[in-house]
Amino acid sequence: MQRLTGLDAAFLALETPSTHMHVMATMVLDPSDVPGGFTVESMRTLIAERLPRLDPFRRRVVDVPFGLHHPVWVEDPDFDLDYHVRRAALPAPGGLDELAELTAEIAGRQLDRRRPLWEMWVVEGLEHGHVAVIAKMHHAAIDGVLGVDLMTEIFDLEPHPQPTPPPETTPSDDRVPSDVELLVGAMTSMARQPLRAVRAVGNLARSAARVVQRVRSGPVSAGVPLTAPYSPLNGVLTPHRRVAFTSVPLADVKQVKQAFGVTVNDVVLAVCAGALRRYLELRAWVPDKALLAAIPASVRSQDERGVIGNRVSAMFATLATQLDDPVERLFAARDVMSGAKLVHEDIGGDTLHEWAEVAAPVLFSRGMQLYERVLEGRHPPIINLIVSNVPGPSFPLFCAGARLVSLFPLGPLLAGTGLNVTVVSYLDTVGFGLIGCREIVPNIGKIADGVPDALGELRKAAENR
């Protein structure tokens, strides 16, 4: 039994029927060299073999009565692999659009908290004889870096690897604790809360002082929550989702990076800004100020690699959608990210984690329910969208002998925010996964269509430099 961290518990408590807090990845595999092909049984066999190393796959959540303290993880005594690994099929030959439509349908349903918080769908019927795996896991159990680490347990570096030795320790046979045991454990843990609260207040005061000093010392470009313009990307969330996928050559991204002396993340943000500007022009609604994006940031140290529990924070950056020139948008992304990183360092990556530790989950849950009933959609947007960029593997991966062809990640939506763009690199491509509220961003494919065009503008400018 292990207690959830405050941030993990917050991700659970913030979830509502419309605000789903799971993350996803849609992966296309080529099974042409696999004898007998790749089936749902192939996936079940592989997961079963590696389950001792996949802690988040075996554990389910048990709530503390009355929501007094963070829930606990326990080994699921009724674990059912067939429930978690499922089969689906598209009318052949299915392309990316059809795969995105199925992914959206799966994304629009909450995970069952009576079981470990994950699902995998093996999808047959894709064009070129490919199959897909749609993976879905609650954010309480995984962050971006841990997700990449889990991929190394499920995927191999060669089609037919040597058997992996069993772990040194075997999973314990937990039983579900009683309400009395949960309450006693909660009271014991909560006895340390006053000290944590004092430490959190002190650290926040010091962080605020550093930020004030930074602002006084000179102008700093950084996004500020609650300064976002009204846009077609914001509104009242429903449970329904739209999904779109697209990819661009990594070489083109690096060409722009080197030509203009910026980072890969700067290029990604500029490409997103360009694609969104085209979309807003189609909607005849281009705000005269930049859109504001939340940028999730990992604060996981090397010593914490593989450790269960979210280690994430957030930065805020403007996307210069009000600018027509693509190079100006790129330099604007560079400047605002430089400022956002400085402010994030001043605030400290542990601030969010500390405050989540001292808050009871019931406060997050009741607060989110009240917000959705009373405030959502009735005030200026806190942010306009979420953009996340996670470095992926630069080497080929294989799953039960099938070669991974493409990878598209998807993140959660927050109340009032109808679009999340998550980006990951794999081999020589950069995959963009876009997920949006069906009613707020019904034609999300138009945004995805603008991504290659936006990068093409920057590449042309780099060539003419």
β-strands 85-94, 118-126 pairing:
parallel
Q: Count Cβ atoms within 10 A of the Cβ of residue 158 and give its class: 0-12 exposed, 13-18 middle, 19 or more buried.
A: exposed
From the CB of residue 317, how many other CB atoms can be counted at a distance below 10 Å?
29
Q: How far apart are CA 344 and CA 316, in angstroms?
A: 9
Answer yes or no: are the C-beta atoms of 399 and 133 closer than 8 Å: yes
Q: Which of the residues 20, 84, 139, 353 is marked catalytic?
A: 139
Answer yes or no: are the C-beta atoms of 274 and 454 closer than 8 Å: yes
Quickly list DSSP for 373-416: HHTTTSS--S-SEEEEEE---SS--EETTEEEEEEEEE----TT
End-to-end Cα, the chain, rounded Å: 59
Q: What's at 126, amino acid-wise?
A: L
Contacts of 461 (CB under 8 A, 6+ apart): 256, 259, 326, 327
Does the annotation mark 139 as catalytic? yes
Give backbone dihedrals phi and psi of 401, rounded to 5 degrees, phi first. 90, -15
Cite the active site residues. Answer: 139
